Structure formats: C-alpha cells, structure tokens
Amino acid sequence: MNKTQKPWGGRFQADTDREVEAFTSSLAFDQRLFHHDIIGSIAHAKMLARQGIITKREAKIIILGLQDIHSDIAQGEAVFYPGDEDIHMAVERLLIEQVGEVGGKLHTGRSRNDQIALDLRLYLREELKEIDELTQVFQGVLQQLARQESKTIIPGYTHLQKAQPVLLAHYFLAYWEMLERDRGRFADCYKRVNVLPLGVAALAGTGLPLDRAYVAKLLAFPVISRNSLDTVADRDFVAEFIFCASLTMMHLSRLCEDMIIWSSGEFGFIEIGDAFTTGSSIMPQKKNPDVAELVRGKTARVYGNLMAVLTMLKALPMSYNRDLQEDKEPLFDTIDTLKASMSVLTGMMQNVQFHRARMLEEAGRGFSTATDVAEYLVIKGVPFREAHGIVGRIVRFCLDQGKAMTDLKLEEMRRFYGGFEDDVFQCLDLENSVKRKKVLGGTSHEAVAARLMEMEKQS
Ligand code: ARG
C-alpha cells in the first residue's frame, strides 16, 4: 500500500478527497489506544496460528513486527500519514511496511468494528484501575483530615442556613462515603467493560474457525460477548463509565463549592495554601480559589460528554455505524478531566488551614442548638410538636430582645414552659450538642470515631 491507497482500494476507482480524509480520520485522538491495539493484535495473531489459519512462522513475524511498531510509536518515531484513517489502519500499514505481505494476514477474521470495541475495553479496564487508586488516595486524605479535625465543631447547614453544629471530621467523612459509592459504581461498570468483543468481525461473526475463548484467556477477559450485532453496536459501557464519572465529578464539585464559600472573607473558615490558589492580575490583595472553581467548572464538561455520547447513541440503527467513532473524544476527555481533578484536589485538601475558632464562633450563632432544647423537653415527656412550639416561641422572644438563648435566665425560660430546669443550659452547649448525636451515623465524637475505625479496618 502506498500513501494514498486504502485497504478497501479494490472497489474504488478514485482516491479519497483530502477534506474527507481529514474529516473522517480519528487518528489524532485514537492514537492513545496504540498500546491496547497492539496487545489485542498480538493475541489475535497467536490465536490465528493456534487455529492453523496462519502458520506459526507467520505469526512470529507479525508479532515481532508489532512489537517493533509498538516501541516506534512509544518513542514518537513512527510516521503517520494523512491517509491513515485510524490507529488500526496506521498500525496495519506500518506492519506491512515493516514485515511485507505477511502483515496483511493479521486482519484475518477481524473487522475494525470488533477491534475498536476491544481496544476501548482494554484501555478502559486500565483507566478504571487508575481511577480507583486515585480515589482511594483521596479517601485516605479525607480520613487523615477527619483524624486531625476530630474535635473541631462547624456549623452544619441545610438550605445554606445554619442548622445544627456538627464535627468537621463528620463533614469530611461524608465525602468519603460519596467516594465509596463512586468506587462501587465504577467497580460495577468494570464488570460490563470486562467482556471480550473480538471475534465477531464486522457484525455477523466469521466463517473462519476462530477460538474466542483462547483470546479471552490471553487477554484475561472472564466473559465473552454473545451476540455479534450487539457486540459491535454496543457503547453502553462508555455511557455508563461517563455517568459514573459525572457523579464523581459532582461530588468533587460540591466539596469545591464548600471550600470556595468557606474561604471567602465573609465565612473565613479556611485558608487555602498559596501553592493551590492564584492571584489577580489587577487587584493586589486577592487570593482566589481557582483550583476549586475549575473542578466545579470542569464538572460541566463531563456532563456534556455524557450528553454527547447518549445523544450519539440514541437513534443508531443496528449495528455498527461510524457515529460510534464520536465516543472517543468525550470518553478521553472525561478520563483526563476526572483524573486531573481528583489528583489536584487531593493536593489542595492537604494544603488547607482551618480557622477552628472562627468555625466554632459561627457554630454557636443562629440558635443552632434549638433542636437540642426541643429534645430536652421530649425527654421530660413533652410531645415533640409541643416542644417545637415552645422552643420556637423562645427563639422569637430572643430575636425580639436581640439576645441569644444562652443569655436567658432560667426564670425567663420558665415563662414558656414551667418544667425547665438548670440542666437545660447544658443543651445549649455546642460540645454537648454534638456529643448527644450518638445515633448510628450521627455526628457525635463517638459515632464518628467508630466509623473511622471501620474505614481503617477496611483499607
Ligand atoms: N475509527 C473507527 C471507530 O472509532 C473504527 C471502526 C471503523 N469501522 C469502519 N467500518 N469504518 O469506530
């Protein structure tokens, strides 16, 4: 084959238009699959020889050629042509150039339709492992922060209104739980990625006596796809992966949102280290949480990638269609974005200084222990609804008087409910409020420490 000849040249009389060549080519982005493409091809060649479809000698020549091409591409020495439509055709052309006509036997019983499905699955398997490792490292940092801030009390919010005091450790472990669910989702996705597609050829299977079980064994696939049409048409695993990534990005983005708010002058809860913030080109005093903002912003791209893939798939007729080539850029972008975000946030969170006194000060404002007083009344036998009303009226009174509940005298409290005793003031104490939340999953020191212990045992 020369530069302009195509593998399908037999049927064609005219060369491909230059613009069409550029428009249809995926090489610019699917190059990143070269390693997995070659691994897959080596397994295929071994199987062809074992089945007597090519000779052992031919397989050996092909495999050695593929290994050379692998190192050439890895070292940036391979030369690609504009006519190389994708990584599969580029490798095949390089192989034929390198080893001669015998290279043309590699594609026996195979189509690029099952080949690309294989490459993507091989590639995604590895990326899923890396993502899991990055996630575990980040979870480790969250655990470390929880240990470090095991006594720090922050205001807990609902509706971004001060609600009840909670431990900062409990806050960090909330993100640990989210990431643990993410890991579970990715692990489940892995099962559907981990299926061998190779061997179904273009769409129908092949008349040649391929041994798919042998290829599955060589490439460590526990499952072999069972319908040739579905095999070449299926990109569920790509959509599923990007969905999993979307949820993980959403979790990271929510953490970032809190860090952005907390680092504002108005909150003043944290300061993000200089190495993980940026300045302003005009306002000399500024220190901006750009890393957190960008993770939040990049979450949108990943959602966009999910929409792109779902929309691309929605009306495809059976079976393979070239539209499927449009899965790669969203997939690769998702992987790059997720890994970069996870990694930079892992660094950022280790560079945050917590202003504990400021957090505590705010935790005490806004009647954050009002619910504790209502629970106090419940223990005294007051029905909860009534208790809620009593405490609500006390809060109203305090608001009118410009006082905090801790400013009230026992006599003043008793005007709202005669049964109040001195110990009610213990309920107003932040430390006690947190300690009381002993219920499984609650924010008490005890419950949080117990959960942390479970996590440590698990890892
Ligand atoms: N580059 C193509 C893709 O990403 C590979 C398969 C092409 N198959 C075909 N019959 N044109 O889907």
> For 427-451, how does the pLDDT look when each residue is reduced to its tens digit (9 = 90+)?
999 999 999 999 999 999 999 999 9
Question: Is 443 touching ligand 1 by the criterion CB < 6 Å?
Answer: no
Question: Is 325 touching ligand 1 by the criterion CB < 6 Å?
Answer: yes
Looking at the CA of residue 87, tell me the nearest atom of ligand 1.
Answer: 1
> For 268-314, how does the pLDDT look when each residue is reduced to its tens digit (9 = 90+)?
999 999 999 988 888 888 889 999 999 999 999 999 999 999 999 99
Smallest CA separation from ligand 1 atom 12, residue: 325
pLDDT of residue 458: 86
Cα–Cα distance list, 376 to 373, 410, 412, 419, 436 (Å): 5, 14, 17, 11, 11
**Radius of gyration of the chain measured on its C-alpha atoms:** 31
pLDDT of residue 16: 86
Q: What is the DSSP string of 225-286?
A: ---HHHHHH--HHHHHHHHHHHHHHHHHHHHHHHHHHHTSTTT--EEE-GGG-B--SS-TT-
Residue type (1 letter), 247: L
Using DSSP, state whether 426 is helix, strand or coil: helix
Q: What pLDDT band is residue 137 in, cutting at 50, 70 and 90?
A: very high
Looking at the CA of residue 86, tell me the nearest atom of ligand 1.
Answer: 1
> For 49-58, how does the pLDDT look when each residue is reduced to its tens digit (9 = 90+)?
999 999 999 9
Q: Which of 18-22, 66-70, 156-160 has the least mean pLDDT? A: 18-22
What is the percentage of the chain residues whose pLDDT exceeds 70?
A: 99
pLDDT of residue 37: 98
Question: Is 116 touching ligand 1 by the criterion CB < 6 Å?
Answer: yes
Q: How far is the CA of 228 from the centre of ligand 1 (A)?
A: 16
- From 71, 264, 280, 343, active-site residue: 280
CA dist 332 and 38 (Å) reads 19
Q: How far is the CA of 85 from the centre of ligand 1 (A)?
A: 9
CB 104 within 8 A of CB 42: no
Q: What pLDDT band is residue 379 in, cutting at 50, 70 and 90?
A: very high
Mean pLDDT value of segment 124-134: 98
Mean pLDDT value of segment 93-110: 98
Smallest CA separation from ligand 1 atom 11, residue: 322
Tally Cβ neighbours within 10 Å of residue 107: 19
CA dist 52 and 43 (Å) reads 14
Residue type (1 letter), 245: A
Q: Which helix (H) or strand (E) holds 69?
A: helix 56-74
User: Residue 409 pLDDT more than 60?
Assistant: yes
Question: Is 322 touching ligand 1 by the criterion CB < 6 Å?
Answer: yes
Looking at the CA of residue 116, tell me the nearest atom of ligand 1.
Answer: 5
Q: Angle 105-220-90 (CA atoms, 0-180°, nearest 5)?
A: 35
CB 320 within 8 A of CB 231: no
Residue whose CB lies within 8 A of the most ligand 1 atoms, among 313, 322, 323, 332, for a mutation test: 322
Question: Is 26 touching ligand 1 by the criterion CB < 6 Å?
Answer: yes
Q: How far is the CA of 103 from the centre of ligand 1 (A)?
A: 20
Question: Is 173 touching ligand 1 by the criterion CB < 6 Å?
Answer: no
pLDDT of residue 4: 56
- Give catalytic status of residue 159 as yes or no: yes
CA dihedral sign, ordered 431, 164, 364, 296: positive
Q: Which DSSP symbol is given to 316?
A: P
> For 219-264, how does the pLDDT look when each residue is reduced to its tens digit (9 = 90+)?
999 999 999 999 999 999 999 999 999 999 999 999 999 999 999 9
CB pairs under 8 A, 24+ apart, for 121-126? 121/193, 121/194, 121/195, 121/196, 121/197, 121/221, 121/237, 122/36, 122/39, 122/40, 122/219, 123/32, 123/33, 123/36, 124/193, 124/237, 124/238, 124/241, 124/331, 125/190, 125/193, 125/194, 126/36
Give the count of alpha carbons within 13 A of 289, CB side only.
Answer: 25
User: Residue 1 pLDDT more than 50?
Assistant: no
pLDDT of residue 15: 86
Using DSSP, state whether 60 is helix, strand or coil: helix
CB 160 within 8 A of CB 267: no
- From 70, 71, 107, 159, active-site residue: 159
Smallest CA separation from ligand 1 atom 2, residue: 325
Question: Is 8 touching ligand 1 by the criterion CB < 6 Å?
Answer: no
> For 313-332, how does the pLDDT look when each residue is reduced to its tens digit (9 = 90+)?
999 999 999 999 999 999 99
Residue pointed to by tokens 């052992």: 56
Smallest CA separation from ligand 1 atom 4, residue: 325
Q: How far is the CA of 117 from the centre of ligand 1 (A)?
A: 9
Looking at the CA of residue 328, tell me the nearest atom of ligand 1.
Answer: 4
Mean pLDDT taken over the chain: 96
Q: How far is the CA of 96 from the centre of ligand 1 (A)?
A: 20
Question: Is 112 touching ligand 1 by the criterion CB < 6 Å?
Answer: yes
Q: How far is the CA of 111 from the centre of ligand 1 (A)?
A: 9
pLDDT of residue 287: 87
pLDDT of residue 279: 86
Mean pLDDT value of segment 77-95: 95
Smallest CA separation from ligand 1 atom 7, residue: 112
Residue whose CB lies within 8 A of the most ligand 1 atoms, among 325, 326, 328, for a mutation test: 325
- Give catalytic status of residue 355 as yes or no: no
Which residues contact residue 166 at a Cβ distance below 8 angstroms, ignoring those fewer than 6 apart?
153, 154, 155, 156, 434, 443
Residue pointed to by tokens 């893939």: 309
